[in-house]
Chain A
Amino acid sequence: MRRYLIVLAALALLLSGCRGEAKELPAPAELFAEIQAEVELPEMINTAETDLEALTGIGPDSYDSAVCYRLCEGTAPDELIIVRANSAGDTDKIQELLEKRLDDKREAGTLYLTEYQPMLQAGVVRRDGLTVSLIVSGQVEEIARVYDDSLQAVTGPG
């Protein structure tokens, strides 16, 4: 009897360990601050309140928090959008909309201000748990490292 109870308790512990808290990146504003601290970015302004929905179609009902950093001044297509979705379903939709935003920016870059095409081609959309990000920057790799480090800090060395 006791042996079965021990097995049951071990099973419950094992499974509750898997359950844990969702492995999430820091909130978008906090994550951007980390990026800004680690990577030399051009001066950017957070326009999430006024521009995020107009640019992407991502409405406030679908996310918990977001930042939408755009270049303060200049013709370059730099853009850093980080959105923490409300749910996995919202995450799918946000990812789709950010993928489309990136496609649109790339296509625009074939028509005008064509010198930025390499930056646009290097742009990425990444999904980490409920966080979806669009990164168009001359420092995509460095920014990705900040994400990876941040995830590592959340999940531990494994």
Chain B
Amino acid sequence: MKPFCLLVPGLVLALILTGCAADAAMPAQPPEPSPAPAAESAPPPAKAPVPVPAEAPTPSQAEPSQEPEEGDYFDNALFVGDSIMEGVRQYVAARRQEGEALGTAQFLTSTTGISLADLTGDREPGVQFSYKGEARPLEDIVADIGPRRVFLLLGLNDLASDPDPVVEDVVSRYTRLILNLRSACPGVEFIVITNPPKVASQWLPDYTANRNFGNALIGEFVDELKAICPEWNIEYVDAYEALKDENGALPDDYCRDGFLHLNHRGASVVVDALEAFAGGR
């Protein structure tokens, strides 16, 4: 046998084997160029239009089933909110380690200080919710998820981040957002969760632009919100009432940061209020 007779199969064998070796562990590689960051905190590429209740829903949007409900009231519910809702999500996630909490409800939360002004396009550049890694208008996300009902907990960032907020304007943004969502997602029920008060301490984090942010303002906002909800046929769960102490403040032991973010104990009060609300349906 001539040497090249062995070399040819040898080379073939070598090629096969080196090809297989390509799957072996690779060192960390620089990431592929990725699209410009756009997520929970990212401003949208262009000014979002001010939401105006649309006349007709977008045809591509998912419509929830109108069949009679089965299972838990909170199955197929979506909880949307800011960093206060994130505290509720954490509590529910912890409860689900051991059993059940709020059925199979999903959460869409943001810890970017998201405000109604962001969501209605009144603030530019506005922050949007992020879903599946992309910042998207809330209407699109709700339509994508297709929940039966959506619970909203928003508004305090409007009061805290504006140096001189007008309560009526913030409430008006809230109703505008909900009317817009109703138009975009027909058949979905939208329910407001009233905001918790802050603790009695006057301390405010540095990022709070409104240095007069406090319980008088929160109370005024919640009262106005509760007054206007029936006018628009919007139901609400009164977490504010459930959480406040005799002085109208959030008890310190319901709070995890000496400001207003709920710990598990505070969040459990909100979940109890939600369950009581559901029990009455």
Contact = CB atoms under 8 A, between A and B. Distances in A.
B67 interface: no
A18 B21 contact: yes
B1 A1 contact: yes
B197 to A, nearest CB: 18
B132 A57 contact: yes
A8 B41 contact: no
Contacts of B83: 75, 112-113
Interface stretch (A26-34, A100-108, A135-143): A100-108
Nearest to B87: A73
A43 B95 CA distance: 14
Contact of A99 (B9, B31, B111): B31
Interface residues of A, number: 58
Interface stretch (B22-30, B183-191, B227-235, B272-280): B22-30
Nearest to B10: A8
A157 B114 CA distance: 50
Interface in B202-254: 205-207
A111 B133 contact: no
A72 B111 contact: no
Contact of B34 (A5, A99, A108, A151): A99
Nearest to B97: A45
Given A15-B18, A19-B21, A54 B42 contact: no
Contacts of B26: 88, 127, 129
Interface in A85-102: 88, 92, 95-97, 99-101
A71 B9 CA distance: 57
A127 B264 contact: no
B257 A75 contact: yes
B207 A112 contact: yes
B132 A111 contact: no
Interface in B115-160: 127, 130-134
Given A73-B256, A73-B263, A75-B261, 19 more contacts: A4-B1, A7-B6, A15-B13, A50-B106, A54-B106, A55-B130, A55-B133, A72-B93, A73-B91, A73-B264, A77-B111, A95-B29, A95-B32, A96-B34, A99-B31, A100-B34, A100-B39, A113-B83, A127-B28
24 contacts: A4-B3, A5-B6, A15-B17, A20-B21, A50-B106, A54-B108, A54-B132, A58-B133, A70-B93, A73-B87, A73-B263, A74-B90, A95-B29, A95-B31, A96-B31, A99-B34, A100-B37, A104-B41, A104-B42, A104-B130, A108-B110, A108-B111, A111-B207, A127-B28
